[in-house]
Structure 1
Amino acid sequence: MQLPTSPLLSVVVAVYNGEAFLDQFFSCLVAQNIDSMEVIIVNDGSTDGSMGIVEKWREQLPQMQVLEQENQGVSAARNTGLAVATGQYLSFPDIDDYFKPGMYQRLLDMALENTLDVVTCNGNYVWENDKKPSRPIFPLDKLQSTGVMTGPAWLKQALDSRKFLHVTWLNLYRHDFIRQHNFHFEPGLRHQDIPWTTEVLLTAERVQYTSEQFYDYYIHSASVSHKPDTDDTLIRSARHYMKILQMLDAINQRYPEKVSRIPACHWQIAKEGLGIIHTFDNMKDEQKKAMIIREFFERGIWKLIWKSAKSPRLRWRLGRRYFRLKRYI
């Protein structure tokens, strides 16, 4: 009796109230025209008509399974899908984006030919109603196609470009590699792709990047990350980034030898730290601002950012903010 072979690709998809985007998303999946592909839909507590649309597409995607869970966020949904995935390679697309026919086949061909742990392509930023002209996610003059290289070498090159975006949806990951290191997404954390990508690349041995632009990242008003901020959403964002900085620091300490050759691993902590301080600047309620700034110092985040700022320019940018922040304590 012949044992069933595992699919080449598992596509793990978190769905939460995505009825406006799912038809386009499934059209993109079907257009990939890959027979050996399982699709794992994780319904993260949707309350709209998302599941009706999913059912409508079942016939065209026979290797699709649907998992249900209470709303826990995209990280938990990805972990749920990852736990049951059987494919040789994994992908984690967002449902509100567009990916072009041939994307997964091209990345699979590269991955299988070179036994890659991670394979990455380029994409475009696309604005709703053409508010801005679209542009490449990785500028073509800053990051060009590579041969096979180690993960740390690619991470250094990518971070040194100062134009690198930590995302999962431009990548395929070798499943055995992810399983071997027991990688998972941090539950309840927004922008969890930052620590995920950093640690995955620090451990990967074989990585390759193609500057071909297969993926359109859609910037629109319905996206949680692009809605207007209030003081409360700014506080939540600051807390998420404080957690991210602590995770990045822990990662740096786990891989000291590799990180010693990638100064930008420290730079990214200082850069994201400046982003947190910028968040404080945008808050209107002085009491709330004082509360979150106190938390920022009490959690040791300022000390971590200052320690990570190795260049005189970064230290100068931080130093001029220090006394303005201290006024609130």
Structure 2
Amino acid sequence: MTPLVSIIVPMYNVEPFIGECIDSLLRQTLSDIEIILVNDGTPDRSGEIAEDYAKRDARIRVIHQANGGLSSARNTGIKAARGTYIGFVDGDDYVSSAMFQRLAEEAEENRLDIVGCGFYKQSSDRRTYVPPQLEANRVLTKREMTERLKHAHETRFIWYVWRYLYRRELFDRANLMFDEDIRFAEDSPFNLSAFCEAERVKMLDEGLYIYRENPNSLTEIPYKPAMDEHLQKQYQAKIAFYNHYGLAGACQEDLNVYICRHQLPMLLANACASPNSPKDIKKKIRQILSYDMVRQAVRHTPFQHEKLLRGERLVLALCKWRITFLIKLFFEQRGKMKGSAKQA
């Protein structure tokens, strides 16, 4: 029998959280679901915990695979999914008991290809609501979504697949899969294609997903050796997407400003957080400034751009002038300030 919704949960080093995650899925008011737990070669007990749950509820399936990264685990889940709709939940997060009923009901009633919601950011001492970053409570057509794609990075609606429910037919129609070569910020290239192909989209201004700010997650680790490689692969995937759909001219400014505001500072902060010598860090900064994605963004974004904040304008100016020792000093000082804030 075909379930209405398939929920895909990749698991890697989520042992402290996976129980709460699965419990939140089993409490769904929508019972017509299947839960696909993908053990991505995790070294902890997440896989064993998942198997214990599967023995207790027939809606749970566990798939074990060698470690291939988040994109690989999600693709494994997509291939195994039988539902009319597909949703994603990260193994260290959890969801409202009404999430999949609300999303599926809206999708069925309005013939939606994608339906999304707001979410809560949960830290150890606070919970903050993040509303949807597209207009809520109205159906957006394919033509309207094409317009929204011109500002996809500014509005950030292409971040995070876990706040959306996707119609399975969309995957088949658009040959949607995650790029397994990208192991960092892999959601946005996927969502660019998904939203471009979607005929009807709707957002609900409801906090149905709880994103846990996990200090041990990949996004929170200060130094990521593979970041440069994967951000460049992400950039190349986006350029290929824009070229394929004839959107390169319309979307280039949005991508350039995004790189200057977010990815360039991430790359520079990552280089300065490395254990390398000061000489090697400055060499790495010069290398980052030579990347095609960085050169294009720095060259074509004026540091007076209205979307840039004061600190972002300063960083962009230093990059335009290639003053590596000041770039290094700026990010080292910022790193120390973040460290002291965490200790406070």
Scaled by the length of structure 2, what TM-score is found? 0.80
Structure 2 residue 131 is the aligned partner of structure 1 residue 138: yes
**Equivalent residue, structure 2, for 1:152:** 146
Give the partner amino acid of 1:176: E
Picking from 86, 89, 100, the partner of 2:96 is 100
1:143 to partner: Cα distance: 5.5
**Equivalent residue, structure 2, for 1:186:** 179
Identity %: 27
Structure 2 residue 62 is the aligned partner of structure 1 residue 66: yes
* Cα displacement string for residues 259-295 of structure 1 (whole angstroms, at most 9, x for unaligned residues): 6279534433443343324434545633432443354
**Range moving further from structure 2, 117-126 or 43-52:** 43-52
1:16 to partner: Cα distance: 1.6
Q: Distance in 1 between matches of 2:146 and 2:287?
A: 33
**Equivalent residue, structure 2, for 1:245:** 235
1:50 to partner: Cα distance: 1.7
Aligned to 2:171, the other structure's residue is in SS state helix
Picking from 199, 203, 206, the partner of 1:209 is 203
RMSD: 2.9
Give the partner amino acid of 1:136: Y
**Equivalent residue, structure 2, for 1:112:** 108
Alignment of 1:15-30 (within 5 A): 15-30=11-26
CA pair 25-236 structure 1, distance change in 2 beyond 3 A: same
Unmatched tracts of structure 2, length 5 or more = 328-344
1:206 to partner: Cα distance: 0.9
* Cα displacement string for residues 109-166 of structure 1 (whole angstroms, at most 9, x for unaligned residues): 01111111111100111112x0xx3212238xx75523110333454576554x6460
**Equivalent residue, structure 1, for 2:214:** 220
Contact 2:30 2:98 in 1 (8 A): no
Runs of 4+ in 1 over 6 A off after TM superposition: none
Aligned to 1:190, the other structure's residue is in SS state coil
Aligned to 1:264, the other structure's residue is in SS state helix
**Equivalent residue, structure 2, for 1:85:** 81
Aligned to 1:120, the other structure's residue is in SS state strand
Aligned to 1:194, the other structure's residue is in SS state helix
CA pair 322-265 structure 1, distance change in 2 beyond 3 A: closer
Contact 1:41 1:67 in 2 (8 A): yes
Picking from 11, 18, 39, the partner of 1:43 is 39
Contact 2:131 2:206 in 1 (8 A): no
Picking from 322, 325, 329, the partner of 1:324 is 322
Structure 2 residue 86 is the aligned partner of structure 1 residue 126: no
Q: Distance in 1 between matches of 2:264 and 2:43?
A: 37
Contact 2:239 2:248 in 1 (8 A): no
CA pair 107-298 structure 1, distance change in 2 beyond 3 A: same
CA pair 174-149 structure 1, distance change in 2 beyond 3 A: same
Scaled by the length of structure 1, what TM-score is found? 0.84
1:202 to partner: Cα distance: 2.2
How many residues align? The count is 314
Picking from 155, 159, 163, the partner of 1:166 is 159
Structure 2 residue 258 is the aligned partner of structure 1 residue 268: yes
Alignment of 1:226-241 (within 5 A): 226-227=220-221, 229-230=222-223, 233=224, 235-241=225-231
